[in-house]
């Protein structure tokens, strides 16, 4: 068996294992949003929306879509909404202040 065929089979197997279609109800979405926000409480540096979404088995934009969904945001209490907003702000600052790429000197 050639390498190209082996590579294709491995990708197919991994794809079957990782690309599961999972549907969440409103309460599960609420739970996951609050769970993600709890990681950013206090001085803690939580997980990015992107990585948390991938861990749930969805697209990298899964939680981002939930955050922007008015129907889901309406079931959150005022305190939960504040916590989520604070976590979003902290995660955006952490992303902006995150590790910078080292600037290579320009070659002449």
pLDDT in single tens digits along all 108 residues of the chain:
555 555 445 455 555 545 556 788 999 999 999 999 999 988 888 899 988 988 888 787 889 899 999 999 999 999 999 999 999 999 998 888 766 555 566 666
Query: Is 69 contained in some domain?
Result: yes
Query: Is 61 contained in some domain?
Result: yes
Confidence (pLDDT) at 8: 47
Query: Is 57 contained in some domain?
Result: yes
Query: How many angstroms separate the CA atoms of 20 and 85, rounded?
Result: 29
Q: What range defines the domain where residue 44 resides?
A: 24-96
Confidence (pLDDT) at 90: 93
3-state secondary structure of 105: coil
Confidence (pLDDT) at 57: 82
Query: Is 35 contained in some domain?
Result: yes
Alpha carbon distances (Å) from 51 to 37, 62, 71: 13, 10, 23
Query: Is 8 contained in some domain?
Result: no
Query: Is 9 contained in some domain?
Result: no
Query: How many angstroms separate the CA atoms of 44 and 32, rounded?
Result: 18
Query: Is 32 contained in some domain?
Result: yes
In total, how many domains does the chain have?
1
Query: Is 75 contained in some domain?
Result: yes
């Amino acid at each position: 068996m050639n390498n190209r065929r082996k590579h294709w089979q491995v990708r197919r197997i991994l794809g079957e294992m990782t690309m599961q279609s999972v549907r969440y109800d409103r309460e599960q979405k609420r739970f996951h949003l609050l769970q993600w926000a709890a990681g950013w409480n206090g001085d803690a540096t939580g997980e990015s929306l992107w990585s948390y979404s991938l861990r749930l088995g969805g697209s990298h934009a899964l939680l981002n879509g939930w955050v922007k969904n008015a129907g889901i945001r309406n079931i959150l209490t005022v305190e939960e909404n504040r916590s989520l907003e604070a976590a979003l702000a902290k995660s955006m600052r952490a992303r902006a202040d995150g590790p910078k790429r080292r600037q290579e000197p320009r070659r002449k």
